[in-house]
Amino acid sequence: MAPVHLGEATHCPYCALQCGMYVRGEAAGGTLTITPRHDIPANGGGLCQKGWTAGELLTGGVRLTTPLARARRGGPLEPVSWDEALDRVAGAVRDLQTAHGRDAVAVFGGGGLTNEKAYQLGKFARVALRTSQIDYNGRFCMSSAAAAANRAFGMDRGLPFPITDIAEADAVLMVGGNVAETMPPFLRHLRGTLIVADPRETRTARQARLHLKVTPGTDLALGLGLLHIAITEGYADRDYIAARTTGFTEARASVAAWWPERAERVTGVPVAAMREAVRLLATADRAMILTGRGAEQQSKGVDTVTAFINLALALGLPGREGSGYGCVTGQGNGQGGREHGQKADQLPGYRKIDDPAARAHVAAVWGVDPAELPGPGRSAYELLDALGTDGGPRGLLVFGSNPVVSAPRAGHVTERLAALDLLVVSDFVLSETAAMADVVLPTTQWAEEHGTMTNLEGRVLLRRQALTPPPGVRSDLAIVAGLATRLGRGEGFSDDPRTVFDELRRASAGGVADYSGITYERIARETGVFWPAPAEDHPGTPRPFLDGFPTPGGRARFVPVEHRPPAEEIDDDYPYYLTTGRLLAHYQSGAQTRRIAALNEAAPEPYVELHADLAERLGIVSGDLVRVTSRRGSAKAAARVGRAVRHDTVFMPFHWEGANRLTNPALDPTSRMPEFKVCAVRVERCGDGADERDEMAGTPRAGRGRQA
């Protein structure tokens, strides 16, 4: 029998599992076939419904295939040639920088870009534009966990162990994560006793032995209470603490007043449940503590994650095979995207941009004087907030992001985008942000290009080109190279991903995230390589903490933290908490998934989830149109009544415009993460509102020009 041709081996375009898949067929003929790969441990032959349907955007005729531009301010987007589009962008950039300085033009990237794109985008900002104003939407995703891990362990890698280690754990505490909806193949690794801390009874919480239904914004107090119990009830691993950590005495003193009854009053979690959670973790032979966006997307997210790292250290988990602490990174390349230069304060290899040695090393690779490299710029929300203001950027180039939907206080961010002199968006569909742009540049899709992605384990994977892109589109690498050439800095900007990756390897050499020993051939041969891999004969580092931590003394650090309330408490005017999150059928801002018929049918519109008791008090029944209002704006959606969410809390998914008009941009002082997960709102019934619901549902709006 002839062998079956499975197609090109590549990876899913969505979450940080980066599930392996084969893609076969021709997009032009609409005969695309996707099948799962069994050789990638993260999914091991499984895919979620988003992965199975990922090819529809390649064949469905909804994508952009020609550059678009406005002939006049407020006019319609119209097709133009590539030369005209790139010339217009480069000319506007020169004019803005001549009039207002280098920082008049900013770059906003994305956590779904390949490592090659993230690297070249950071280089483009610093070398071609020479602007300090670059950040990316990953700042909205896992930056708090990254900062907490760096100060505790000396390294940020989402999971500092292979995902398969989780399957060997006897007990797992998941804090603020809902992997059953956000990354369903992850569930195959949750085989032990599961404990979930979440304000909602999510699909993940329903599979848990123990659900800690925490009040929004009090996860930090929960962590302190659990650590108090672990210490006072004799569960702390004193030998591990003495041998492998520093700072325990101070951390112990910081939780002395967090007796269980006090923690219960603050969090709403019963004392008995907290004690049981600690017992299950402490008596397991192998245990894991994992945090997700619920713990991290708070104005105290770094300290919240730190509280759970302190608990993990007290129980002796990090650096022990089969045990540990990890962050369940969300975006497809959320890990790699923050390692190689998209963040405002970082250079490739996870180097700090204000470190003279780091600047000298990277400048040598780039062939520039270190003095030419700008310093740190604004973080993501601060950058968006400054657009079009005195002293703020007048132009913005967006790659792989949709801040009109995904940014906090989204109505305000939309106003700031509208105030720009130049907005350029590179995307493959006309997202809500692209619809506002002066110039839209159509880019290749995931299955139409080579590149590397780094998944939540720190495993560098190879995304292979499976299809020929349609005529008229270009890769982001080609777009950046074309702009750099027009700006007179084209040398060193390639449109070939392998060439860019080889330069990335040199730039990352010696850094925390050292990729210098990773090649395309090696990734293909070994089915992914764990960084750091400082030489081609180095085996890679699947478990970097087994022999010590990359801190000056080789020990992990306890860091004392104090609970504080959310930036915005409920009151008489805004008496309920709002929390937000993702749905099984959709991904991030929905720019991709809301254009796929099967996914849109599964989740066609936003909704407001209320507890039955709250709904009864407000006279609301399922299906009613509900208005939710915060101090920043209002949003309408259909009511969904049940008992999954707390009686004082409402939930909205953030895949549509609406939820993030309400969210609070209060920032964590360290990570600059906005407080997406908790704000104060009021809720009122609007009527059945079928016509209004139809307007909110389904495919994103086709376009809307910015007003003159």
The DSSP string of 469-496 is PPTT-B-HHHHHHHHHHHTT--TT--S-
How sure is the predictor about 688, in pLDDT bands with cuts at 50, 70 and 90? Answer: low
- Domains observed in the chain: 8-59 (2.20.25), 68-140+336-446+473-493 (3.40.50.740), 143-328 (3.40.228.10), 576-696 (2.40.40.20)
Percent of the chain scored above 70 by pLDDT? 95
Burial 235-246 (b: 16+ CB within 10 A, else e): bbbeebbeebbb
Residue 6's pLDDT is 61
How sure is the predictor about 31, in pLDDT bands with cuts at 50, 70 and 90? Answer: confident
Q: How far apart are the first and last CA of the chain?
A: 66
> CA 637 to CA 686: how far, in whole Å?
10
Residue of 64, 151, 78 whose CA lies nearest to 444: 64
Residue 445 in tokens: 């899709």
DSSP state of 319: T
> CA 268 to CA 219: how far, in whole Å?
10
Residue 141's pLDDT is 86
**Alpha helices by DSSP H, 487-573:** 497-508, 520-526
How sure is the predictor about 32, in pLDDT bands with cuts at 50, 70 and 90? Answer: confident
Mode of pairing for the β-strands spanning 529-530 and 459-463: antiparallel
> CA 677 to CA 577: how far, in whole Å?
9
Q: How many C-beta atoms surround the C-beta of residue 477 within 10 A?
A: 27
The stretch 684-691 carries a mean pLDDT of: 69
Q: How many C-beta atoms surround the C-beta of residue 229 within 10 A?
A: 25
- Map residue 311 onto helix, strand or coil: helix
> DSSP labels for 251-301?
HHHHTTT--HHHHHHHH---HHHHHHHHHHHHHSSSEEEEE-HHHHSSTTH
Residue of 434, 377, 444, 379 whose CA lies nearest to 405: 434
Residue 199 and residue 214 in contact, taking contact as beta carbons nearer than 8 Å: yes
Give the mean pLDDT of the chain: 94
> Higher-confidence residue: 462 or 58?
462
Residue 695's pLDDT is 46
Mode of pairing for the β-strands spanning 451-454 and 459-463: antiparallel
The stretch 639-645 carries a mean pLDDT of: 96
pLDDT reading at 683 higher than 90: yes
Instruction: Compute CA 75 distance to the chain's CA centroid, rounded to the nearest angstrom.
Output: 34
> DSSP labels for 191-235?
-SEEEEE-SB--TTGGG-SEEE-PPTT-HHHHHHHHHHHHHHTT-
Residue 142's pLDDT is 85
The torsion of the CA quartet 438, 441, 446, 451, rounded to 10 degrees, works out to: -110
Residue 543 and residue 382 in contact, taking contact as beta carbons nearer than 8 Å: no
Residue 361's pLDDT is 98
Interval 336-381: pLDDT, tens: 888 999 999 999 999 999 999 999 999 999 999 999 999 999 999 9
How sure is the predictor about 692, in pLDDT bands with cuts at 50, 70 and 90? Answer: low
> CA 90 to CA 129: how far, in whole Å?
10
Ranges 2-6, 101-105, 378-382, 676-680: which has the least confidence: 2-6
Measured N-to-C along each axis, helices 219-232 and 271-283 cross at an angle, to the nearest 10 degrees, of 60
Sign for the pseudo-dihedral over CA of 43, 45, 47, 52: positive
Burial of 708: CB neighbours in 10 Å, binned 0-12, 13-18, 19+: exposed
The stretch 613-629 carries a mean pLDDT of: 97
Residue 201's pLDDT is 96
Residue 437's pLDDT is 98
pLDDT reading at 689 higher than 70: no
The stretch 242-267 carries a mean pLDDT of: 98
pLDDT reading at 198 higher than 80: yes
pLDDT reading at 519 higher than 70: yes
> DSSP labels for 126-155?
IIII--S-EEEGGGGTTHHHHHHHHHHHS-
pLDDT reading at 72 higher than 70: yes
Residue 330's pLDDT is 81
Residue whose structure tokens are 């990090």: 318
| Type of residue found at 291 | T
| Type of residue found at 707 | Q
Residue of 123, 131, 97 whose CA lies nearest to 490: 123
Side-chain half-sphere CA neighbours of 704 within 13 A: 10
Question: Where are any strands of DSSP class E within 47-205?
Answer: 68-70, 77-79, 105-109, 134-136, 171-175, 193-197
- Identify the helix (H) or strand (E) that includes residue 327: strand 324-327
pLDDT reading at 697 higher than 90: no
Q: How far is CA 590 from CA 372, 405, 640, 656, in A?
A: 39, 9, 20, 7
Residue whose structure tokens are 């254009």: 595
Interval 144-178: pLDDT, tens: 999 999 999 999 999 999 999 999 999 999 999 99
> CA 60 to CA 300: how far, in whole Å?
43
Report phi then psi at 529, rounded to 5. Answer: -130, 130
> pTM for the complete prediction?
0.95
Residue 225 and residue 267 in contact, taking contact as beta carbons nearer than 8 Å: yes
How sure is the predictor about 439, in pLDDT bands with cuts at 50, 70 and 90? Answer: very high
| Type of residue found at 242 | A
Percent of the chain scored above 90 by pLDDT? 91
Residue 367 in tokens: 């062939």
